[in-house]
A = this chain, B = another copy of it.
Amino acid sequence: MNMPRVTTEVLQAIRRSKKPSSKADIVRSTGFSLVTVTEHVETLVRSNLVIEVDMGPSTGGRRPRLLSFNAEAGYIVAVDLETTHVQVGIVDLNCSILASKASDIDVASGPKAVLEHIKEMVFCLLKENEIETSLIKGIGMGVPGPVEYSTGLPASLPIMPGWDRYPIRQFFAQHFQCPCYIDNNVYTMALGERTVELASEIDNLVFLKIGNGIGAGIICNGQIYRGSAECAGDVGHINIGHDVLCYCGNRGCLEAIAGGRAMVRRAEQIARDGQSKILAEILLVKGKLTSGDVKRAVLESDPVVVEMVRECGVLIGNVLANLINFFNPSLVCIGGGFSQIGDLLLASIRQAIYHRSLPLATRNLLIQQSSLGEKAGVIGAAVLTVDEIINDSLKKTASGIFSFY
């Protein structure tokens, strides 16, 4: 068998184990021989990706050396870009966030301004945490739309003028000497969610992001599923038969009626129509509403706003019910900024799913709010990057050049 595949499998066995592994553990989990495991463990220890930790208990003979993944072998810059908001994190190789910053931005101000702003945030974080730029081993970034993953170039999106095939990787290459990976941020969110204890055992997962728009990230057999044109999960433009015009030019798209942007617009209409005293007052003061205002009205049991959010939840749940019949996942995770509106939205989604999905498909289905909340995207971008740089390093190891350090 060729070298990088075996080395990668040995490393992944060590990484994924919840406790330090003996070589015998690795033999059991990979199916490789002890000779093979020993050879590849030595390469990994030399590379500093694996370290020896305390000795395991003796099973009669010598006490075995235990092996552990070296999460401090470097750091990752992880970026989660939304249309109106960005989060940046410095993350270790175990994908734990060491430090992070968030900022409002407008993605429509174009890639140059937005990326320059992100770069400043990164340098600020590095300085505050006294981390040398040379310790950054990879950059991972999620963007709010489809990406050609192999090149990192975003697809054309009406909500992101100027970003069509913009070379984001080249921008970062001017400032960092490390590889950079760009992906649709709903895919990275799904990947992030899968690091949570419960979800890590789950092979088939749908992560539904309710942000300004609506999109889904799919984990299939444990891997991100991107689809043939790398636009899988683009469920925001599923037609639900209403007559509202969407920015995409079609009528009746799910996100044009039940997405975050639509919810805020409807809440503003409710305020202007005098149907909600709370929202009318906020609108008068601020001149516009946000998801936080909608959440507040729901918490204060404003009946018209509650009805509107419930209706959005049912519309989203109806679409999910169909996708569940088709894809039969074991976990549906509801995330994105607008999912924080509260239990009412989740309850309405669940109600619609249980009403409309097949009993066999929902018998053991978990439907829950994202456990990582607004951190899902940053953590997922780090997960993606760590997997990629490890695979890359090991490919180079095989050809005699080890590049991780």
Contact = CB atoms under 8 A, between A and B. Distances in A.
Nearest to A363: B229
Contacts of A33: 1-2
Contact of A234 (B220, B226, B358): B358
B239 A356 contact: yes
Contact of A326 (B146, B241, B326): B326
Interface residues of A, number: 52
Contacts of A5: 31
Interface in A181-204: 202-204
B32 A229 contact: no
A321 interface: yes
Contacts of A237: 325, 358
A361 interface: yes
Given A2-B31, A6-B1, A32-B2, A326 B233 contact: yes
A363 B230 CA distance: 12
Interface stretch (A129-137, A284-292, A327-335): A327-335
Listed residue (A223, A250, A326, A358) with the most chain B CB atoms within 10 angstroms of its CB: A326
B220 A325 contact: no
A325 B234 contact: yes
A39 to B, nearest CB: 12
A228 B216 contact: no
B227 A146 contact: no
Contacts of A2: 31-33
A235 B1 contact: no
A323 interface: yes
A322 interface: yes
A234 B322 CA distance: 9
A364 interface: yes
A135 to B, nearest CB: 33
Interface in A337-366: 356, 358, 360-361, 363-365
Nearest to A205: B228
A223 B237 CA distance: 28
Contacts of A146: 360
A31 B1 contact: yes
A319 interface: yes
Given A231-B358, A239-B318, 20 more contacts: A1-B31, A1-B32, A2-B32, A155-B360, A203-B228, A218-B326, A228-B329, A228-B365, A229-B330, A229-B365, A230-B328, A231-B361, A232-B326, A232-B328, A234-B325, A234-B358, A234-B361, A237-B358, A239-B322, A323-B323
